[in-house]
Structure 1
Amino acid sequence: MKRLETEDTTVTRRKIGIAEYAVVTDETALVTSGLGSCLGIVLFDSRNTVSGLIHVMLPSVDQARDSNPAKFVDTGLPLLIDEMEAAGADVDRLQAWIVGGSEMLNFESSTESIGSRNIAMAEQLLDDHGIPLVDADIGGGHGRSIRFDPAAEAVTIRTADDSSRTI
C-alpha cells in the first residue's frame, strides 16, 4: 500500500491490477487503471466500513483456459461478495458502482462486444444478489482509471483524455 501525504491527513491507497481484487476495512482508497473493455466493480458497506474493488476482464469463465476467478465477472463478483462478508460486510447493505466496459476496437461482428457483455453480466449478478447500483460510467470508446474513496462514498473516474468526474 502507498501512503499519500496531503495537507492535513495521510491517505492510504491500494492499487488493484487486472484480474485482481482487494477488500479493506478502513478508509483506504482503492484504485485501478487500464479499464477499457474491462470493468472495475466497487462494492461498499458504509455501516461496517468494508470496501471492495475487483478489476475483471471477461464476462464468463465458460470455455476459458484460465482458472483465476478474479478475471471473470461471473466468478469474480461472487468471490468479492464472499470476501467482503468474511471481512464483516453485511450483504444486505452493499452498494455498487461499475466503471468501464468500453468498445475499444471496432470489429464488424454479429455478437455483442466484450465490454457490453461484461456490463450485462455485472448488472445481472448485482440484481441477482439484490445489490443496488449507485451509479455507473460505462460503455463508450475510451479507457478509464478509477479511485474509490470510502470516506466520501464516491468513485472518481479519470479518462484517457485527462478529463475527470466523480460519481
Structure 2
Amino acid sequence: MKRLETNDETITRRKIGIAEYAVVTDETVLVTSGLGSCLGIILYDQRNSVSGLIHVMLPSVDHARDTTPAKFVDTGLPLLIDEMVEAGADANRLRAWIVGGSEMLQFNSTGESIGSRNIAMAEQLLEELGIRLVDADIGGNHGRSLRFDPAEETVSIRTADDSIQQI
C-alpha cells in the first residue's frame, strides 16, 4: 500500500494488478490500470465500510490451462464476494461498478470480443446474485485506469488519452 499526502490528509492507496483483487475495511483508495478488454469490478457495502476491487482478464475459466480464480469473471466475482463477506460485508447490500471491456481482442469464430464477453458475464452474474449495478464505463476501443474512493463513493476513470471522468 502507498500513502499519499494531499491537503493535510493522508490517503492510503492500494494498487491491484491483473488477475488480482483486494478487500479493504477502511477508506483505502483502490486503483488498477491496464483495463483494455479486462474488467475492473468494484463492489461496495457502504453500511459496513467494506470495499473490493478485482481486475479480471477473461469471462470464464472453461477450457483454461491457468485456473487462477481472480483471472476470470465467473470465478473471480464469487471469490471477491466471499472475501468481502468474510471481512464483514453484507452480500445483500453490495453495489457494483464495472469499468473496461474494450473491443481490443477477438478470439472466437462468432466475432465476439473478449471485452464484450467479459461485460456480458459480469452483468449476468451481478443480476443472478442480486447485486445492483450502480454505473459502468464499458466497451469502446480504448484503455482505462480506475480509482475507487470509498470515502467519496466515487469511481474516477482515466482513459488512454488522459481524459478523466467520474461515474
- TM-score, normalised via structure 2 length: 0.97
Bigger shift: 49-58 or 107-116? 107-116
Moved over 4 A (4+): 105-109
Alignment of 1:16-165 (within 5 A): 16-105=16-105, 110-165=110-165
Task: State the SS of the aligned residue for 2:77.
Answer: helix
Counting matched residue pairs gives 167
Correspondence 1:13 to 2:13: yes
Structure 1 gaps, min length 5:
none
Q: Give the AA of the match of 2:149.
A: D
Q: Give the root-mean-square deviation of aligned CA atoms.
A: 1.3
1:8 to partner: Cα distance? 2.1
Deviations 1:47-72 (A, max 9, x none): 00000000000000000000210000
- Say whether the 8 Å CA contact 2:25–2:49 is kept in structure 1: yes
Q: Give the AA of the match of 2:4.
A: L
1:109 to partner: Cα distance? 5.0
Q: Give the AA of the match of 1:52.
A: G
- TM-score, normalised via structure 1 length: 0.97
